[in-house]
Structure 1
């Protein structure tokens, strides 16, 4: 990473008794800020410690010396040095006179967003969270530069205190080609945000320190117009925003919902519960715990819903090692974060089945779900007879007892060759079967199969039985090209999965069939998988064997 700080420009505004020790200090490159309070010793703060600079207390003359060399202080008592990123903040007494200064070092760190660069390039809105001083503004500045220079987008920065692009009318080079709109008064930031969208046609809006309800509403308005948002807010974790009524709209807003008696009894909860009110303004949230350790919530909506249900989300943890490589792990814990667990009727479902629920919540974590069969086993290869006629192959395909069946003969090597001795992946020509459903099965199960639109390059034809019997033309074409036809009864996902596994000889006849629930989950989220597993348990263990109805757990759409 390349770091630019213009530290000498900051040292020029402080008195000599402060400047001299810092010029010779071994850790001057790690300096965070200089504190000058009237009647106290000047103090230099570093990441690991703070130390006094000299033995002479600060006088009014020293404060005036520094004030004369910086720009004008705005209504939020902030000023800067032109063409730099440094920030000077003032402390005033009751009469408005300055009695203290905090001179904070501003640094442009190029490459600081390497941990989340691919998320920035997706075009989704990103919210940066973290305590003061962790580097939110530095990351925001680099994101603006990358979007403007590398991705060539129209970027507008809403700079309320000139901290992102520096003081003065000419912005600092650290923001690249991005444009900067200054804010005359901090309380007018929400108006400038809307003005930027209406007047300057940006593709990306960058906002630092969203802190008021009006700014949160303006951010939602901008996001609804299709503009990518990148902003920061104070708060260490997502829980802080959930509990903050002023900023909760950034993550969808929280509302209290009153349940009926039956619904509350079914959920095993109080009659009044909290739910997310709307889609989040920011789709991605990044918790900057440390400078080299960030927690990424890729789906803010799922995280908020999990927190409101008393569950612990499973975000990514991204760190940078000594070699500069990004490592991504998952911070998973099966226990609820805010209390709660399996709903009352879910627990009764397991008790009716004669099982005891473990301490972890959820059907998938209870240890009660029967595991799906292992489909990755390799069967022994057998010889494929080229002397077989096409009609025999076709009849065997229709009957399901030929070379593609699960019998002890007629198998081909799953990991080496296909039905005609070809190398895998197996090329299949689908006929009258929705292509997207086949792609979903192949992707979910990770099968070595390629779909082709050219029957000449196909190893086998997969078709619906009803269509194949009526299409003599398909039979003649397949016969002329010596391509076998495999048929299925319907185009449902289980039928397609079973046929592909049979073609690849990946089925075990001694293992009972279980539907791979991933096939039915559009996004394969934990909530969808949990609901499908609960429904399967109810059908297989209570409804069918006992003939009793089961009330499933209520779930949000």
Structure 2
């Protein structure tokens, strides 16, 4: 259904304004004008002004006096260290401009509204349990969406939600939070400089499942956000910036998306990549797994995998972005756009992936009876009604997409990762997500799509999954040894013997010129070290390639050209 907009007691705001300004505002009392009214500006020595979404109008021919400003200031709450005040039990915000002597010389009275239904466009992302960062220009509706997100998580999903409210902008002024946040609890911040401390206090003292925070803007707050995310708490927040690139270029906030560092490559690696020796790379996993750019009140751009998006931008690769737009009938259209180049966001070309798809959210239904979980690593839920396709389309839900792509590439499997469960032949998720039974997994099961559950987000678990899905590709191949075999001295001795025999045979082939370079089977680090030593005894070069647990030794002649 179309979104319902509720203006919270606009009359309460008018009650604190000078009477002649209120009378002038009565001329703009139509529903359309009231919905478009953004703020009322009162500056000393200037005419009072009302700002709408599409125009600005003067409200009187006279200039604002100190008495007018004092009249308003005496009827609202106390101004905090951030020069913001409010009206109790409303969402309106009054911000002050002060002179050098500390006197108030200007007021910005911003209209606060609770808009129900704004999160429908990203509700599946909220239900996924991923930490989400919202970006957008001022006035586009970030705080409104954040407020509605807190209500949905607390009331509809019955989660323990804490709102860290620095300027009382999310839950309104006064000690009692506004009904717009539902059952969510609100922690007020005495001064903006302590916002990071209250964030940590919320986690340590009140055991939340979700923390909602507005305007992350300092290094301390970014560090607190990372601490919260690492403790397994879902974080929904906003930050200053319009796009992902804005956050990447902001040295204070770049840690939210993993941080950016300069790396110097070896000559060999630079030639292999076809780049300069000094490049920029992501420093760490991002704090927020999903980033949403709010382009307008009815349109957003979604980066479902922030790590992959940052890596693509730094490497100059095309960036695939999911675009969502709310239609007048309440449905949501989804399509994909490809961005070419870091500074060419306006030059967007549609991918040849077909027309836009429109979907209507499936109403919540009782969850089916949960099957017993066997003790094995992987659980298959709702077995597929038809054989898996030649190229398997897999949707990762709560699973590291980067790590999954690396495993698929290392094992050279016919698997394609898709961005929506509606495009997938199967869904892979983690045990802790599966236990919560989010809407995405329930819908997949209802449509007969198999759901595979990993115990942990490791490459070894992913490899085990693919070995079970594609047994014909691993026929006769020994699986990577598990940690349980480490205590078996005979098994360890056999592994060393087999690895060294393979390395010695490869060295002979390279020396004889049969092959110029040979890659050995993946081994553990201490076995690879022995293989490097063997290659050195034969006066051959060697190096380790790939990522764990598929890192392996390659043996070649030192004079071999690249």
Task: Provide the rounded CA distance (Å) in 2 between the counterparts of 1:50 and 1:556.
Answer: 58
**Alpha-carbon contact 1:159-1:183 (below 8 Å) kept:** yes
Is this contact kept in 2: 1:160–1:182, CA < 8 A?
Answer: yes
1:547: how far off? 8.1
Q: String of CA shifts for 1:246-274, please: whole Å, max 9, x gaps.
A: 00111111111111122222222221111
5 Å-filtered alignment, 1:385-396, equals none
2:4: which partner in 1?
Answer: 2
SS of match in other structure, 2:121: coil
Q: 1:313 Cα deviation (Å)?
A: 1.4
- More moved, 57-66 vs 260-269: 260-269
What corresponds to 1:37 in structure 2?
Answer: 43
The verdict on how the C-alpha distance between 1:443 and 1:202 changes in structure 2, with shifts beyond 3 A counting, is: farther
| Aligned residue among 324, 327, 330 for 2:333 | 327
| TM superposition shift of 1:156 | 0.4
8 Å CA contact retained: 1:142, 1:174:
yes
Of the three residues 11, 14, 19, the one matched with 1:16 is 19
Which whole-Å CA distance do the structure 2 matches of 1:318 and 1:492 have between them?
Answer: 33
Distance 1:491 1:179 in 2: 45
- Computing the radius of gyration from Cα coordinates, the structure with the larger value is 1
Give the conservation status (yes or no) of the 8 Å contact 1:84–1:106: yes
Distance across 1 between alignment mates of 2:113 and 2:4: 10
1:92 aligns to what?
A: 98
Find 1:337's aligned residue among 336, 339, 342.
Answer: 342
3-state DSSP of counterpart to 1:231: strand
* 1:442 is aligned to 2:388: yes
1:55 match: secondary structure: coil
Aligned in 2, Cα 1:19/1:338: closer, same or farther, shift over 3 Å?
A: closer
* Structure 1 residue 29 displacement after superposition: 2.8
Matching residue of 2:254: 248
Distance 1:496 1:260 in 2: 35
Query: Hey, what does 1:237 align to over in structure 2?
Result: 243
Distance 2:324 2:247 in 1: 21
Shift of 1:4: 2.2
Larger deviation, residues 123-132 vs 22-31? 22-31
Which runs of 5 or more structure 2 residues have no equivalent in the other structure?
345-350, 353-377, 394-424, 427-466, 475-513, 520-544, 549-562
Specify whether residues 99 and 279 from structure 1 end up closer, same or farther in structure 2 by C-alpha distance, changes over 3 A only.
same
Write out per-residue CA displacement over residues 300-329 of structure 1, whole angstroms, 9 at most, x where no aligned residue. 111111111112311110001222211011
Q: Tell me the distance in 2 between the aligned counterparts of 1:161 and 1:493.
A: 55
Q: 1:296 to 1:39 in 2, by over 3 A?
A: same
Q: 2:182 aligns with which of 167, 171, 176?
A: 176
Does the aligned pair in 2 maintain the 1:310–1:338 contact within 8 Å? no
CA distance in 2: counterparts of 1:435 and 1:209, whole angstroms: 40
| Cα pair distance change 1:278/1:218, threshold 3 Å | same
Q: In the alignment, what sits opposite 1:481?
A: none
Instruction: State the match for 1:289 in structure 2.
Output: 295
1:117 to 1:98, Cα distance in 2 relative to 1, 3 A = same
CA contact (8 A) 1:255 1:277 kept: yes
- C-alpha spacing 1:230/1:273, structure 2 compared with 1 (3 Å): same
Map residues 323-402 of structure 1 onto 2, 5 A cutoff: 323-333=329-339, 335-337=340-342
Q: How does 1:448-459 map to 2 (within 5 A)?
A: none
**Cα distance between partner residues in 1 of 2:131 and 2:259:** 16
* More strand as a share of residues: 2
| Partner in structure 1 of residue 135 of structure 2 | 129
TM-score by length of 2: 0.62
Counterpart CA distance in 1 for 2:90 and 2:468 is 65
The answer to whether structure 1 residue 166 and structure 2 residue 172 are counterparts is yes
Q: Which residue of 1 aligns with 2:396?
A: none
Tell me: CA distance 1:492–1:213, structure 2 relative to 1, closer, same or farther (3 Å): closer
Which residue of 120, 127, 134 maps to 2:126?
120
1:307 and 1:338 in contact (8 A); partners too: no
* Distance across 2 between alignment mates of 1:205 and 1:98: 34
Kept in 2, the 8 Å contact 1:441–1:493? The answer is: no
Using a 3 Å threshold, how does the CA distance of structure 1 residues 317 and 71 change in structure 2: closer, same or farther? Answer: same
2:447 is matched with none
The DSSP-based 3-state class of the residue aligned with 2:100 is coil
1:15–1:153: structure 2 CA closer, same or farther, 3 Å change rule?
same
C-alpha separation in 1, matches of 2:226 and 2:45: 46
Residue matched to 1:342: none
Q: Check 1:270–1:145 CA distance in 2 against 1; reply closer, same or farther (3 A cut).
A: same
SS at structure 2 position matched to 1:20: helix
Q: Distance in 2 between matches of 1:109 and 1:38?
A: 33
The count of residues paired between Structure 1 and Structure 2 equals: 374
What SS does the aligned partner of 1:317 have? strand
Decide whether aligned partners of structure 1 residues 226 and 19 sit closer, same or farther in structure 2, where only a CA change above 3 A counts. Answer: same
1:186-201 equivalences in 2 (<5 Å): 186-201=192-207
Q: Secondary structure at the match of 1:88?
A: strand
Gaps of 5+ in 1: 340-363, 366-433, 451-489, 498-545
**Structure 1 partner of 2:455:** none
Call closer, same or farther: CA 1:302–1:60 in 2, change over 3 Å. same
Distance across 1 between alignment mates of 2:184 and 2:97:
32
Closer, same or farther: CA 444–8 of 1 in aligned 2, 3 Å = farther
> Structure 1: how far apart are the matches of 2:148 and 2:49?
29
Cα offset, 1:65, TM superposition: 0.6
Distance 1:125 1:492, change over 3 A: closer
Alpha-carbon displacement from aligned partner over 1:54-112 (angstroms, at most 9, x marks no partner): 21111111111100000000011000000000000000000000000000000000111
How far apart, CA to CA, are the structure 1 residues paired with 2:280 and 2:81? 38
Say whether residues 1:145 and 2:151 are aligned partners: yes
